[in-house]
Chains A and B, each alone.
Chain A
Amino acid sequence: MLLTIRKQLRSHPALIPLFFFIGGGAAMSLMYLARLGLRNPDVSWDRKNNPEPWNKLSPNYQYKFFTVNMDYSKLKKDRPDF
């Protein structure tokens, strides 16, 4: 299949940017989904060995890309038990 694509590209070289843009877009969406699945503080993959992974984050941890009114130098409230 790649051979066919290569032959067609050689006769229509203007299609190459198309591959770049579509490939780039697909890569960006997959990366965002991976980030959401792995880094989002709301998810927990392994409930037996690592339940509640969000409790291991520091109180300054910023997950969002843009925060408009938030100054992330706060401190934690009341954890000194368990």
Chain B
Amino acid sequence: MAETMDEKIKNYRTAPFDARFPNTNQTRNCFQNYLDFHRCNKALSTKGQDVAPCQWYQRVYKSLCPMGWVAKWDEQIENGSFPGKI
């Protein structure tokens, strides 16, 4: 499994099993990937690197999260009222 990130994103089917969240309730998995996507964007863009690897997190949270939550969080980020730490 030594594919590069680009290949993994291209062959993406669905969110893989995450040992950090083994139970039925995947809420935290969804939120964690959403946070990780934004943190990854922030970290890589401050370092000046290409943010393409962060697409992985976006694909995963889009698979897991209800659209209503994603819309709400995106709106909160634009307002500046997002409760998570990015």
Contact = CB atoms under 8 A, between A and B. Distances in A.
Contacts, number: 51
Contact of A78 (B5, B17, B28, B39): B5
Contacts of A82: 39-40, 43
Interface residues of A, number: 23
23 contacts: A52-B32, A54-B20, A55-B32, A57-B20, A58-B19, A59-B19, A61-B19, A61-B20, A62-B19, A63-B19, A64-B22, A74-B16, A74-B19, A77-B8, A77-B16, A77-B56, A78-B5, A81-B39, A81-B40, A81-B43, A81-B53, A82-B40, A82-B43
Contacts of A42: 21, 23, 25, 28
